[in-house]
Every structure is written in C-alpha cells, then in structure tokens.
Structure 1
C-alpha cells in the first residue's frame, strides 16, 4: 500500500468508474495498463430550444444563482463541501439527462489516456488528473462530503458554476501523489464532478482545467464520450454500509485446510475450465534487473537501482494520519533490502480449440501461518504504544502485481497471450520486487481477477508456494 492511497482513497463506486481512476493512485510501475479503451466523441448537439429545455430540466434561470457549492471549515484541518439552494428551488427527484463532457483546456503536453483520465505525455499514467461524476438523483442540495487532513482550501466560480479546491499534504516531494481534489457543481444538469489532481499538476493548471469543463446534454445513453456517473443515493448507501462494516468483506485469513490446493514449482494445474493449464517451471532471486529485458524497463525501474545497477533498499515510512484537527506526519522511517523475484510461467492449451487473447496475471501474495490460520499480511500493523498508524512502503516492493512481463498482446498490447493452439505452450517471464523480509512467505496467485485477498476463486485455483529458505 502506498502513501498516496492511504489518505485520499477514492469513494466506493461502480467497477466501470473505478477502472477510470484506480491505477492513477499508484505509481503505475505495475505495468498492467489495461482497462476499457474509450475515446471522447464530441458530436454536435441539436440546439433547438424545446429540446434543450427537455434535456436540461428546470433549474437554470438567467442571471439568478439558485444553487451554490460552498465550503465550511471543521476544526483546524477539516472541510465540509456542500451545495446550498434557495428554498423554492429544491427538487427531490430531478430529471437528469445523459451528458457528454467537453474539456476546453489542457496544459501543454497533457493527453487523454482513457475517458476521464489525462496525464502528461512524458509521464503517462503516473499522475495528471482523473475525473468522476455523480448524478444528484435525490436533489442537488443533498450533496455533502467531509475531508480531514486538508492543508488548504478555497471556493471558486467559473462559467456560471461554483466549486471548491482542496489541497492535502505531500509528505514525499520526490513521489507523484494525488494530493489535490476539486469539486464542481453542474446543477443545470444535476451532476457533480470530483476531480483528482496529482502533484505534477500545479494548482493553477488544475483549477483552469476544472473551470473549462462543460457537460453537454445528449439523448445518447451509451455512445462514446457519454459520462459514466454514480447515483448519489448509491454512493450514500455504500458509505453507510462501509461505516457499519457491511458490504463486501475482504478475507485475509483462512484455516490452513482451505489452502490444501497449494501447488509446487514444476506442477501443472488448471487455470480455467476450457483446458488452459499453468505451471511455474522456474524461480530465480536476484539483487538487480539483469534477468529482465532492458528494452521493457522504464524510468521507474532505473530509479530503483544504484550506480552499480543493484536494487536500492525500500524506504518504509511510518505515518500518523491526519484528521479534522491535524495534518499527516512521518513519525519515523527505515530501509529494507529489496530482491527481484523472476518466474518462468508456462501456459498450455490442453483443449481442442485455439485460445485467443488469453489474459494472464500474477500476484505476489505474502502468506504467514499462525495458530492453524493462513494469513495474508501486506503491511506492518502498529502496536498500541506506537505513535504511527500506517507503514508505507515507498519502493517497488509495495506492488503485489507483476511489475514485469515479456509477452504482450491484445488491443492495448499488455498482459495477453495472442494465441495458444491446441497442444501448444506459451511461456511468460514475470517478475516482482519484494522486501528481503518477505522471501520466506511468498506465494503466487494466478487468479486473473487480481487482488491480495482470499477468494473462492483464488482458493479453488490454488496458490503456488515459492517460499525461499
């Protein structure tokens, strides 16, 4: 887990929306730059008055501001953001159109990577901005969010829309983190935009981008560029469930018996029901990247090595999180040696039909045995006497997904095998960076849904034991 994930987590949202932003809150050295590829299509919208009235609802009146987004300070470093409305303007169940987004300004060098996601061309998928939208189906004035650990905030107005800018601490100036957030109301169409801006985007540029966003009503529900938004009622319900401990449970501990389907290096086992098998045929440990194809390594890999090409130690920072009355602060830090884990993985088609665009994914899962339980432990936990609340690994060993693979395919030239004919085997070399402390507890999961938790699928598929003595 990384610092930029810890305090500024994105809200719970549908999978489609999470796909638009989830990888930005990580450094992106994961290399799996996949997801749905979408492009904006800014078509011409009919300008007839009657159609505009039908699409836009009834909450915009020339020269009169009946809705306004504002901030209210809570404690020393807390902020509440809400939308206020004139009493006679409130709507309980507004008619909400589908909308397309138009962006009137982007900084020089910033390009679209996916719908709602933009980053600089020399740092693709490592920062920039990401946007999510909410449909205010219970009324615009029902919008309210609260944030702690706020370094600074301010209200602004642009093109008839009001908004609030929030800045959070950036403890590590050398790292890109999403330490800015901007909210803008579009009450004419009953939407709210939440924009995440990374530290490689200046405050001035972030505000200029937000100020030049337009939402254009459209009768098209599923076309390119149509904004994917979450109903505000759904968001509130998910937050309520989260606060009550309900909803989706993450399982990180199971009885040892449930891991009986664990595999050894050299053992083949089914990867799906269509006849695909997987086998880890070899595992190597190294303290540099000499096993990897240098042409596939980017600047993030180079930053992990010293002048002699050896892996640098990971810096573990122990952080006390901020709240409504305090900012986040680093309590202490330490260095831990890192190692490269390099695996040769064989995928064999034992079926009778050719397999095309075969998705592959390997997660490094640290599993410890304690009192008959198998426990996934991805980070240190504080003792009652500790001042810190979270341990943040700032090295490449923070990532559990493969950070390297040498087979590429599919539409986005990422982790897909283009074709495996009956009886054929495709070999993929995968690599992870781990801390030296984890070498004795390493298991591999080839569950393509990903995630560092026990699931019915991952347990049925089975983990591969690659622990080093």
Structure 2
C-alpha cells in the first residue's frame, strides 16, 4: 500500500468535486444504479478507488491520474501557428508541459467527441468506460484511455516518474509522448498529450504497456475531434475550472484519528454487534451481526471461482501468486522506498519471502424487525491496523506486489456484475449465514481488523458508529 501525501489527498478532493460537478449536470448519461443518490454514491466510490488496483481503469478514475497536472517552469518554447505556445521541459524525473493560448479571441463553446479513424483489428472500445480502448485478449486493462482538457487560457501539465520524451506531429497536431520509468510493468507506461489548436483542447492519453509502437503511431495519426451534441460529447475537464478549484480555500486534509486500544467498539469472534443499517436515511433499521469463525487457508481449490471478484483472481494470476490447482504460491516480495517522482524514483529497499493466505469468514446477520431488509451491501473490507501509543492506526506498507486488495474478494451470496456486494433480501426475523473472504500476505495476518457494515471513509477510526472485529491471527 502506498501512503498518500497531503498534496495527493488535496488533489483527490479537488478531483472528486470536479467529478461530482460533471455528474450533477443534466447531461450525465452513465447509469450506475436505479436512483440518483445511489448513482452519485457509486461515482464517488469509483473516484475514491485505491490506487493499489493498478490493473483496473475507468474514465472517472482518470480524474485522479490527471490531478498531477500542476505548475511548471518554462523552458524551450514552440509556437503552434501563433495561437498556442507550447513549452516542454524535463527536470530530473519530472516532465512539464505548458500550453498557453496566445489569441485574444475567446475559445469556442462547441462540444466535441473524440474520433479514432484507426484501431487495430484486435482492439475494441470498453463498454464500461468512455474513451477507453483495450485489446480483446486484455479487456479493460492496458490499451489506451483518453481525457479531454478544454484550454481557454493556459494549461499546465506535469508527468512524474518520467524517463524520456519524444515530440512529434501527428495528423497536423503537435504531440508530446512521455515514457515513464517503473520498477515493474504497470498498467500505463506512457502519457501522451495532443494539441487540438483550432478546437482549443488538449487530449491526454494513457498508454498501456501492451500497446506496440506501431499501433500507437497509427492511432495517433488518425485522431480527430468532431463537433457533437452536448449529450454525445467526450468527457471533458475545463482546465480553468480545475485551477479555480485547486485554489479554493478550505480544502484541508484532516489527520487520521486513531482507535483507542480499549475502545468498546472493538469486538471479538463470537460477539454480536447490533447496528443501524448505514443506507437507511433515518437510521431506524437495525441488524444483529456476529462473526462466528475466521479460518486461514493456503489454497482456494475448494471454493467456486464464480464466487470470487474477477479482479482479485486476475491480480493473483498476473503476479503468479496462485497455480491452476488453486494453491497459493510463495513469492519474493520487494519492499519499495518510494520516490517523489520528481527528483527521486522508487527503489528496492529489501526483499523478503512471502506467502499469500486466504482468510475465510463465517458470519450471521439477523433481522430482528417485522419487515424484510433489502439493499444491504457487504462493505466489510479488511483493514490493516497497527498499535501506536495505545491507539490503532492504518498501516503504511510499500510492497511492490501483495495479495491484499483491500476489498472483500470472495462472497458466497453475492449479487451480479457491479452489484457483487449486494446481499440477498433478509426476511423478517430471519437469520442469514454468509461466508466471505479476502487475500492477505502472511505478515498481514497479525494486523487484521474488520469493520461492520460501514460505508464511509476511515479518517476517524474512533467514530461512534464504526465498529471493528479484531480478527488478528
């Protein structure tokens, strides 16, 4: 797990505001669930998704990646038909690009849709994300993801962890390609910026490590923006709006408040916890929740594949942490000293032998009311906590590869598709037994705590409505 800096947290908050503002506009066409509030809640969850899922990308999540675009120092200057000034500089591992509108004319207010006149035969649009394209044998991973920036006056972009750059012209559009350095093959290893001068936009592209140079060249050579209706336009961020929000006062990152070791909100296996259902707006509906047992296994052979989250198994397979028989495999785990991406880059600090484990939980949910309970989501994702001066705080780990996803990886009574964590309706007076589980590294077993149906953030671990089970092994 990578600990966020204060700057990253601030940028994340700004990105969330921009995403929600975009979401609230009446032209929003994405369908996340049946009601507006649930759609907004799910969008927030997508925007807030942890960076540890490096293999899963969506257009909304690119707001976070794009939030690295900040203030620069001018260097070599190029004039693009005297309308936009194009400035590029590399300083250590940071590449900075500034695009400055030199025209006194206002930019047009037309809407545009990104058009790709060339795609490799085996590359297809992603059904679940705007302006995302991936190869058929590597769907939803790698490939290319695009984000369109409207540049009314000027826009400043930084790319950290940069290795080198290439400047070129594709289809009469000035282009900057930034190759990124990394200790391992991550999802995106290049960032590309394409200036659409006439339209007043910069296209930012994230390029996966599975995209050959020939394919990238052909795609960039056939990019264009076509006028469209507001409803059909590509997802766009106005850079001026972004900068205004960046400078808004009152955006603060609160310090994490620890959980006292003697808190009455810490429970143990066998305890029953009575809680209000979080998604009940009046907090009148209660459930009784009991963890009956916690088991640890070295294999998932006896568990049905369809009851696991797809991405969880993908991470295990991609990192060679499981074999075809379902046996979890030991591996050499590298501990990383994180650089700042500007003057320093990530380096290997040490290596240790590690074994993945599958933690299997058996629990019971009782509905004591006379009414059925539906729309209950299992949000009991495991938390790694460590004791500091008598209080429990989140653990900061810099592991290059880990089995820990920070999610519930297995759920027997799960919902379908994006509603994986949706539990069955619990009838009045019914007791429902559920089984769920998650992957961790062996050395994380001694740090495991489970929250109880808690849907908010974990900045304050000592909140009255936040209960934990201590399931350390």
Q: Give the TM-score normalised by structure 1.
A: 0.73
Shift of 1:208: 3.9
Give distance in 2, aligned partners of 1:23 and 1:205. Answer: 30
Give distance in 2, aligned partners of 1:375 and 1:406. Answer: 30
Please name the residue that 2:90 is paired with: 74
Gaps of 5+ in 1: 37-63, 380-390
Give distance in 1, aligned partners of 2:422 and 2:157. Answer: 40
Residue among 397, 414, 432 paired with 1:408: 414
Shift of 1:188: 3.5
Residue among 444, 463, 466 paired with 2:468: 463
Q: Does 1:131 align with 2:136?
A: no
Which secondary structure state, in structure 1, belongs to the residue aligned with residue 382 of structure 2? strand
Contact 2:385-2:393 at 8 Å conserved across structures? yes
Please name the residue that 2:395 is paired with: 377
Please name the residue that 2:292 is paired with: 281
Please name the residue that 2:132 is paired with: 117
Which digits, 9 at most, give the CA deviation of each residue in 1:412-457, with x for residues without a partner?
A: 3522235333333444422222222222221112455465x33479
Q: How does 1:136-215 map to 2 (within 5 A)?
A: 136=151, 139-140=152-153, 142-173=154-185, 176-215=186-225
Give distance in 2, aligned partners of 1:152 and 1:317. Answer: 26
Contact 1:82-1:145 at 8 Å conserved across structures? yes
- In structure 2, the CA distance between the partners of 1:111 and 1:269, relative to structure 1 (3 Å rule), is farther
Residue among 236, 241, 251 paired with 2:243: 236
Residue among 113, 138, 148 paired with 1:100: 113
Contact 2:260-2:462 at 8 Å conserved across structures? no
Which digits, 9 at most, give the CA deviation of each residue in 1:167-191, with x for residues without a partner?
A: 1113224xx4322111223344433
Please, what is the CA RMSD of the aligned residues?
3.9
Q: Does 1:263 align with 2:305?
A: no
Please name the residue that 2:437 is paired with: 431
Give distance in 2, aligned partners of 1:370 and 1:198. Answer: 40
Give distance in 2, aligned partners of 1:34 and 1:324. Answer: 26
Shift of 1:251: 4.0
- In structure 2, the CA distance between the partners of 1:237 and 1:34, relative to structure 1 (3 Å rule), is closer
Shift of 1:166: 0.8
Contact 2:258-2:462 at 8 Å conserved across structures? no
Which secondary structure state, in structure 1, belongs to the residue aligned with residue 267 of structure 2? coil
Contact 1:99-1:218 at 8 Å conserved across structures? yes
Residue among 323, 340, 345 paired with 2:358: 340
Shift of 1:394: 0.5
Which digits, 9 at most, give the CA deviation of each residue in 1:274-317, with x for residues without a partner?
A: 52524333211122224532444645434213588243246133
Q: How does 1:43-82 map to 2 (within 5 A)?
A: 65-68=81-84, 70-82=86-98
Q: Which moves more between the two structures, 161-170 or 126-135?
A: 126-135
Contact 2:328-2:355 at 8 Å conserved across structures? no
